[in-house]
């Protein structure tokens, strides 16, 4: 993949892990621009980001993962990146898998790092929520998605320039993925290690509700579009979906 690569690392209370993540990422993707976003942490996250990243954004209060990602992605575009990787700061996304995600964009516009649910370290509750969201998004889009909640992704510049995702927390990533599919961008999946360490900041009730609301909104739009086409007698628009 030619062009400039930027890596966006949203971080909250990740002072103990983010420097290691950034260091391994530099080894995996030499020359990439590392952008850290401190989402209002009260520990050493901002300090560790400034020691290990090329550019750092700091929020004085916690605004949510979606807000942190949005700010980091916008900076990556401003810096001229043509390929943008996103990964978490807590070490649950193996940086050594980053080149595989970048390479996958040779045949797609968005690559998702897919984690195994069965027979892996994924907690039982997360297996259920991930499986449920995968089923819902697959039904909504007509495209098989195995791990749509994964934040380990690589984007082409075109996706981020065209799709304006809503939401300031975890629903942002769902909205961005569903918006990319609705816009006809090609999505591919790359298997990555399933790693679980520190507890997630995902709030089971409120964040799940936000994600469900986002999926529902896209499903309603998709249904309305199909109904409109049917009433006009026009054939359904061709979906590009998962790239082969």
> What residue ranges do the domains of the chain occupy?
5-232
Q: What is the separation of C-alpha 108 from the centre of its chain, rounded to a whole number of angstroms?
A: 15
Specify which of 163-177, 188-202, 207-221 reaches the highest per-range mean pLDDT.
Answer: 163-177
Q: Which two tokens stand for residue 218?
A: 């896209």
Give CATH for domain 5-232: 3.90.550.10
pLDDT for the residue 239: 44
Q: Are 55 and 74 in contact (CB under 8 A)?
A: no
Distance between CA atoms of residues 59 and 36, nearest Å: 11
Pairing of strands 110-114, 153-156: antiparallel
Angstrom distances, CA of residue 91 to CA of 63, 76, 169, 201, 237? 21, 21, 19, 14, 40
Q: Which two tokens stand for residue 34?
A: 């590392």
Position 244 pLDDT exceeds 70: no
Position 17 pLDDT exceeds 90: yes
Name the average pLDDT for the chain: 87
pLDDT for the residue 77: 98
């Amino acid at each position: 993949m030619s062009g400039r690569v930027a890596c966006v690392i949203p971080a909250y209370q990740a002072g103990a892990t983010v420097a290691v993540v950034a260091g391994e990422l530099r080894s995996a993707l030499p020359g990439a621009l590392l952008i850290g976003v401190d989402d209002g942490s009260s520990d050493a996250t901002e300090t560790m980001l400034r020691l290990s990243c090329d550019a750092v954004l700091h929020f004085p209060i916690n605004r949510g993962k979606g807000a942190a990602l949005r700010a980091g992605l916008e900076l990556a575009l401003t810096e001229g990146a043509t390929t943008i990787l996103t990964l978490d700061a807590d070490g649950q996304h193996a940086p050594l898998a980053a080149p595989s995600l970048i390479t996958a964009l040779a045949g797609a516009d968005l690559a998702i790092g897919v984690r195994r649910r069965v027979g892996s370290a994924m907690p039982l509750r997360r297996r259920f929520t991930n499986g449920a969201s995968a089923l819902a998004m697959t039904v909504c889009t007509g495209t098989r998605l195995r791990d749509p909640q994964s934040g380990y992704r690589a984007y082409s510049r075109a996706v981020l320039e065209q799709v304006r995702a809503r939401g300031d927390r975890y629903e942002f990533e769902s909205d961005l993925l569903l918006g990319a599919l609705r816009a006809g961008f090609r999505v591919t999946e790359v298997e990555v290690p399933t790693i679980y360490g520190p507890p997630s900041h995902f709030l089971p009730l409120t964040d799940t509700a936000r994600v469900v609301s986002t999926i529902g909104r896209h499903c309603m739009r998709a249904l309305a579009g199909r109904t409109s086409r049917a009433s006009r007698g026009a054939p359904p628009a061709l979906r590009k979906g998962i790239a082969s």
